[in-house]
Structure 1
Amino acid sequence: MAFDFYGQLPRGPERGERIFFAVFPDAEDAGAIERFRRSFLEATPVRGNMLRTDRFHVSLHHVGDFKRLRSPRIYAAELAGDLVGLPAFDITLYAIKSFGAIPKPGRAIRYPLVLLGRGAGLSKLHETLGAAMTKFGMRAFPDFTPHLTLSYGERPIVEQQIEPIHLRITSFCLIHSRLSKTEYRIIKRWPLIESRPLLH
C-alpha cells in the first residue's frame, strides 16, 4: 500500500553508509583548533557550514561506501587494525587552505576549508595500516594528503601558513559515518603505544 506523502520524501544517498579509518585530537587539542578557527574566520569571514569539534579528525584510509553496512568488510577492517602496533606520535598543523569543491546536484557549491598536517608518525601509520588492509583484500590508496576539515565555505581560501598547532595522537579508530546525517560512530579504537621515560 502506498502512502499519500511517499513522493514528497527526500531521497537518501544511494550509498549512505561510509566506513573509514581516522585519528582524532583529544578534547584539549580540539579546543585549540576551535579557537584558531574562530579567530581565523573573524579575520577572514567565510560563510558556510562549521564542523562540530567532536568531528575534527584526520582521515587515514577509506574502507568503502555502502547501501547498508557489510559485516564481512567491517570484520576485515578490524583484522587489519589489529595488525598495527605503533608508538603514539605528534602531528603538526601548519597551513590552512580550501580544497576544490565537489558539485552536488541541487546543492550550493561548498569548498572544504582544511588545516594541512604533517608528521612522520602519521605517515607511518597510514603506510602500515594500508599494508595491513591489502592483506585482507581491501584496497588501500598510497596517496596521502593529511588534513583536518574545519568547515565547508561559500568561497575558496588560498593556502596560508599558520602558527603551528601540535596534536598528540594516542589512538586510531574505525568509523561508521552516516552520509545523510552529521553522525559518527566509533566501531573500534586501537591505542597506540605511549613511550615511558627511562628510570635512572
Structure 2
Amino acid sequence: MTVHALFFCLRPDPDTASRLNAVSGELVRRFGLRAKADRTERLHVTLHHLGWYDDQTDQADVMAEVRQLAEAAASSLRQPPVRADFDLLLSFTRKRRNLPLVLSGGACLDPVRAMRAALGERLRAGGLRTDPHFTPHLTLFYDDAVVEPQPFIVPGWTATEVLLMDSLQGMSTHVELARWSLA
C-alpha cells in the first residue's frame, strides 16, 4: 500500500536547487551532520498540505476529489511571482530522531506568507480545509542532531510557478501533478 501526501509548494529552479544543495554540504561539514541523500530534486517550500491518502479504493476516490478541488482553486489564483529568501537556520524538534534541518525566516518570507494566504482563501472557498499553522521553510535534509535557531542568510529565488505535488511516503519521491504560472 502506498501513502500519498498531496501539497502545494514553490520549488527552486535547477540552478538555485544546486546552490542550496551546496549549502547543505557546507552545513554538514560545519556541524558534523550526516546528510543521507541528495535532496536537490525534492527541495521546496510547502504552501498547503492537503492530506494523506492511501491507494485503497475509498481513499483513492477521496484523493481524486481533493485533487480536483485543489486544481480548481489554483486555477483561479492571480498572483505575481513571489520572492523566497531565508535568514534563519534551525532544526524542527517535534520528534526525537530524523529532525528536519530547515531554512526559514522572518520578514524576508512575508511574500510567501501572502501567497499562501491568497491560495488558502481559494482552497477554503472551494470547500477544502487549510491548516492555520504555518512556518514557511525549506527542508535541506534530516539528521538526529539539533541545530539551534541562528541567523543564516541564504538568498533564495523568485518563484514563477506554484505546483501541486504528490509525495510518495517512504519512497523519497515527489511526483508533480500540476503547475500554474504566477503572473
Q: Shared fold (TM-score greater than 0.5)?
A: yes
SS at structure 1 position matched to 2:86: strand
1:142-170 Cα distance to aligned partner (Å, 9 max, x none): 22211000111021110121133231111
Match of 2:7 in 1: 20
Q: What amino acid is the match of 2:101?
A: L
Of 168, 173, 181, 2:163 maps to 173
Match of 1:131 in 2: 121
Relative to the length of structure 2, the TM-score reads 0.89
Question: As a proportion of its length, which structure holds more helix?
Answer: 2
Percent identity of equivalent pairs: 26
SS at structure 1 position matched to 2:36: strand
Alpha-carbon separation, structure 2, partners of 1:78 and 1:55 = 21
Greater C-alpha radius of gyration? 1
CA contact (8 A) 1:50 1:150 kept: no
Pair 166,48 (structure 1): closer, same or farther in 2 beyond 3 Å: closer
Q: Does 1:112 align with 2:100?
A: yes
SS at structure 2 position matched to 1:49: coil
- Structure 2 runs not aligned, ≥5 long: none
Alpha-carbon separation, structure 2, partners of 1:163 and 1:132 = 32
Q: What amino acid is the match of 1:79?
A: A
Q: What amino acid is the match of 1:58?
A: V
Q: CA deviation at 1:61?
A: 0.4
Relative to the length of structure 1, the TM-score reads 0.82
Of 16, 24, 36, 1:49 maps to 36
Match of 1:88 in 2: 81
Pair 124,116 (structure 1): closer, same or farther in 2 beyond 3 Å: same
Stretch moving more, 143-152 or 162-171: 162-171
SS at structure 1 position matched to 2:77: coil
Q: CA deviation at 1:51?
A: 4.8
Report the RMSD for the aligned CA atoms in angstroms: 1.6
Q: CA deviation at 1:102?
A: 2.7
Alpha-carbon separation, structure 1, partners of 2:129 and 2:110 = 23
Of 105, 121, 125, 2:111 maps to 121
